[in-house]
C-alpha cells in the first residue's frame, strides 16, 4: 500500500498530479485547485558532495562501506604502516588499563564515536590519533614498513590474471620486434 500525498494548503489528498509552487517564499506541494495560489518553481538539484577518497599504497580509491579499509599514512610517515590488528590492540589494551571507550576518547581528545569505529574496524586512525593512542595505551600501532612486503608471498598463483596476460603480450611484442 502506498502513502497518499496531501495538499500543503487545503490538506486534501492529491488525486492526480502534484504541483510545486512558491507562496511568499515558502515552497509547497499542492493539488490542482490550489496551484493558482502561488507561482510554480523548479527545484535546483542539490550539489552532491564527492565521496571521501583515500590513498592506499599510492592508489586513490573511494572505499565501500563493506570493505576493510587501510589508510595510507602521510608522506613523512611513509616508513611506517598501520598494524593490521589495530581494532583488537586498541580494545585489548584499553580494557587492560580499565578504561571505558568514553574515558579513552577524552584522554586522546577524540569523539566517542571515533573510538567505537576504530575498535570495530570501520575506521583507521590518522597519524596524530595513532600517536595519541600509542601514548595512552602504551602499545605500538605503527609498525616499520617492510621493504620486502611488495614481493609476492607463498607459491605462485595458479589462476591466470589480467596482469599475467598483459605481461605475456608485452613479452611477445618485444620478441617479435627483435
Instruction: Give the tens place of pLDDT for each residue, 83-115.
Output: 888 899 999 999 999 999 999 999 999 999 999
Kindly state whether residue 62 falls inside one of the protein's structural domains.
Answer: no
pLDDT tens, 1-46? 455 688 898 888 888 888 899 998 888 889 888 989 999 988 777 7
> Which residue range is the domain that position 29 belongs to?
1-42
Kindly state whether residue 159 falls inside one of the protein's structural domains.
Answer: no
Percent of the chain past pLDDT 90, that is, above it, reads 24
Q: Are residues 131 and 78 in the same domain?
A: yes
Q: Is the pTM of this model over 0.85?
A: no
Domains identified in the chain, total number: 2
Read off the pLDDT of each residue in 52-57 and give the average, rounded to a whole number. 64
* Sequence-ordered alpha helix ranges (H) in the chain: 86-96, 101-107, 112-120, 127-137, 162-177
Amino acid at each position: 500500500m502506498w502513502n497518499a500525498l496531501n495538499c500543503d494548503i487545503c490538506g486534501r489528498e492529491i488525486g492526480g498530479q502534484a504541483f510545486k509552487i512558491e507562496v511568499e517564499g515558502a515552497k509547497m506541494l499542492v493539488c490542482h485547485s490550489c496551484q493558482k495560489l502561488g507561482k510554480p518553481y523548479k527545484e535546483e538539484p542539490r550539489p552532491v558532495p564527492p565521496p571521501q577518497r583515500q590513498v592506499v599504497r599510492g592508489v586513490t580509491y573511494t572505499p565501500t562501506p563493506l570493505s576493510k579499509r587501510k589508510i595510507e599514512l602521510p608522506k613523512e610517515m611513509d616508513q611506517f604502516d598501520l598494524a593490521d590488528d589495530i581494532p583488537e590492540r586498541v580494545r585489548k589494551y584499553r580494557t587492560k588499563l580499565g578504561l571505558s571507550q568514553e574515558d579513552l576518547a577524552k584522554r586522546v581528545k577524540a569523539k566517542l564515536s571515533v573510538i567505537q569505529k576504530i575498535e570495530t574496524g570501520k575506521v583507521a586512525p590518522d597519524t596524530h590519533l595513532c600517536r595519541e593512542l600509542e601514548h595512552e595505551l602504551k602499545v605500538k600501532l605503527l609498525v616499520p614498513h617492510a621493504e620486502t612486503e611488495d614481493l609476492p608471498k607463498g607459491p605462485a598463483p595458479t589462476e591466470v590474471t589480467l596482469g599475467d596476460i598483459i605481461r605475456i603480450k608485452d613479452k611477445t611484442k618485444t620478441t617479435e620486434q627483435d
